[in-house]
A and B are shown apart, each in its own frame.
Chain A
Amino acid sequence: MTQSVTQPDRNAGGFNLFSFARSQEGVVVFLLVALMIVVAVFSAASPYFFDVRNGMNIGRAISIIGIASAFTTLLMIAGGLDLSIGAVMNAAGVVAAMVLTQTGLGVGGAILAAVAVGALVGWVNGMFIAKLGINPLIMTIAMQFVVRGLTLGFSASASKVIVDPTFLAIGQSYFHLGPLAIPAPLLWMLLAMLVLWFVLRFTLFGKYVYAVGGKASACRRAGINVNVITIQLYMLSGIGAALAGVVLAAIQGAGIPYGAGSELSVISAVILGGVSLAGGVGLIEGTLVAVLLVGVLKNGMTLMGISSVFQMVAEGLVLVGAVTLDRLKRRL
Chain B
Amino acid sequence: MQHAETTQGTPFLEARHIGKRYGGLHAVRDVNLSIYPGEVIGIVGDNGAGKSTFIKMLAGDHQPTSGELLIEGKPVRFAHPRDAKQAQIETIYQDLALCENLSVMDNIFLGHELTRNPVLRLLRRSKMHIESRVLLDDLGIGIPSTHELVVNLSGGQRQATALARVAKAGAKLIILDEPSAALGVRETRALLDLILRFRSQGKSILVISHEMRDVFEITDRIAIFKRGELIAIKRTKETTPDEIVSLIIRGRQ
- Tell whether any CB of A sits under 8 Å from a CB of B in the complex: yes
For A205, give the chain B residue with the smallest CB separation: B121
**Of B85, B125, B147, B149, which is within 8 A of A12 by CB?**
B147
Once the chains are docked, how many angstroms separate the CA of A214 from the CA of B126?
A: 22
Chain A residues bordering chain B, tally (CB within 8 A): 33
Binary contact track A172-214/B, C-beta < 8 Å → 1, others 0? 0000000000000000000000000000001111010011011
B99 touches A219 (CB 8 A): yes
Chain A residues 273 to 317 lying within 8 A of chain B, measured CB to CB, are 280-281
A2 touches B149 (CB 8 A): yes
Chain B residues 95 to 141 lying within 8 A of chain A, measured CB to CB, are 97-103, 106, 110-113, 115, 120-123, 125-126, 129-130, 133
B210 at the interface (CB under 8 A from A): no
The smallest beta-carbon distance between B169 and chain A, in angstroms, is 9
**Of A10, A219, A280, which is within 8 A of B110 by CB?**
A219
B100 touches A214 (CB 8 A): yes
B252 at the interface (CB under 8 A from A): no
Binary contact track A219-250/B, C-beta < 8 Å → 1, others 0? 11111110000000000000000000000000
Binary contact track B52-68/A, C-beta < 8 Å → 1, others 0? 00000001010000000
Once the chains are docked, how many angstroms separate the CA of A220 from the CA of B59?
A: 11
B145 at the interface (CB under 8 A from A): yes
B91 at the interface (CB under 8 A from A): yes
A4 at the interface (CB under 8 A from B): yes
B91 touches A9 (CB 8 A): no
B97 touches A222 (CB 8 A): yes
Once the chains are docked, how many angstroms separate the CA of A222 from the CA of B111?
A: 5
A103 at the interface (CB under 8 A from B): no
Once the chains are docked, how many angstroms separate the CA of A70 from the CA of B121?
A: 21
Contacts A8-B126, A204-B123 given; does A221 touch B144 at CB 8 Å: no
For B162, give the chain A residue with the smallest CB separation: A218
Once the chains are docked, how many angstroms separate the CA of A204 from the CA of B109?
A: 11
Contacts A9-B147, A11-B144 given; does A203 touch B81 at CB 8 Å: no
**Of B110, B113, B147, which is within 8 A of A218 by CB?**
B110
A218 touches B98 (CB 8 A): yes
Binary contact track B222-236/A, C-beta < 8 Å → 1, others 0? 000000000000000
| Contacting residues, chain A, for B122 (C-beta < 8 A) | 202-204
B80 at the interface (CB under 8 A from A): yes
B12 at the interface (CB under 8 A from A): no
Total number of residue pairs linking A and B with CB closer than 8 Å: 105
A6 at the interface (CB under 8 A from B): yes
A9 touches B106 (CB 8 A): no
Once the chains are docked, how many angstroms separate the CA of A224 from the CA of B107?
A: 12
A215 at the interface (CB under 8 A from B): yes
Once the chains are docked, how many angstroms separate the CA of A214 from the CA of B106?
A: 12
| Contacting residues, chain B, for A135 (C-beta < 8 A) | none
The smallest beta-carbon distance between B227 and chain A, in angstroms, is 26
A217 at the interface (CB under 8 A from B): yes
Contacts A215-B100, A221-B61 given; does A4 touch B106 at CB 8 Å: no
Contacts A8-B129, A202-B123, A223-B85 given; does A210 touch B99 at CB 8 Å: yes
| Contacting residues, chain B, for A203 (C-beta < 8 A) | 120-123
| Contacting residues, chain B, for A210 (C-beta < 8 A) | 99, 101-102, 106
| Contacting residues, chain B, for A223 (C-beta < 8 A) | 80-82, 85, 111-112
Once the chains are docked, how many angstroms separate the CA of A204 from the CA of B113?
A: 7
Contacts A204-B123, A213-B101, A219-B99 given; does A224 touch B147 at CB 8 Å: no
| Contacting residues, chain B, for A220 (C-beta < 8 A) | 61, 80-81
B126 touches A4 (CB 8 A): yes
Once the chains are docked, how many angstroms separate the CA of A6 from the CA of B165?
A: 22
A3 at the interface (CB under 8 A from B): yes
Once the chains are docked, how many angstroms separate the CA of A3 from the CA of B99?
A: 16
Contacts A4-B126, A6-B126, A9-B145 given; does A218 touch B99 at CB 8 Å: yes
12 A-B pairs with C-beta separation under 8 A: A7-B129, A10-B133, A11-B145, A202-B123, A204-B123, A210-B101, A211-B110, A214-B102, A215-B97, A215-B99, A219-B110, A222-B97
| Contacts beyond the supplied A4-B129, A215-B97: 9 A-B pairs with Cβ under 8 Å | A4-B147, A7-B147, A8-B129, A204-B113, A204-B121, A207-B102, A219-B99, A221-B61, A280-B101
* B residues neighboring A (CB under 8 Å): 59, 61, 80-82, 85, 91, 93, 97-103, 106, 110-113, 115, 120-123, 125-126, 129-130, 133, 144-147, 149, 152, 165
* A residues neighboring B (CB under 8 Å): 2-12, 19, 202-205, 207, 210-211, 213-215, 217-225, 280-281
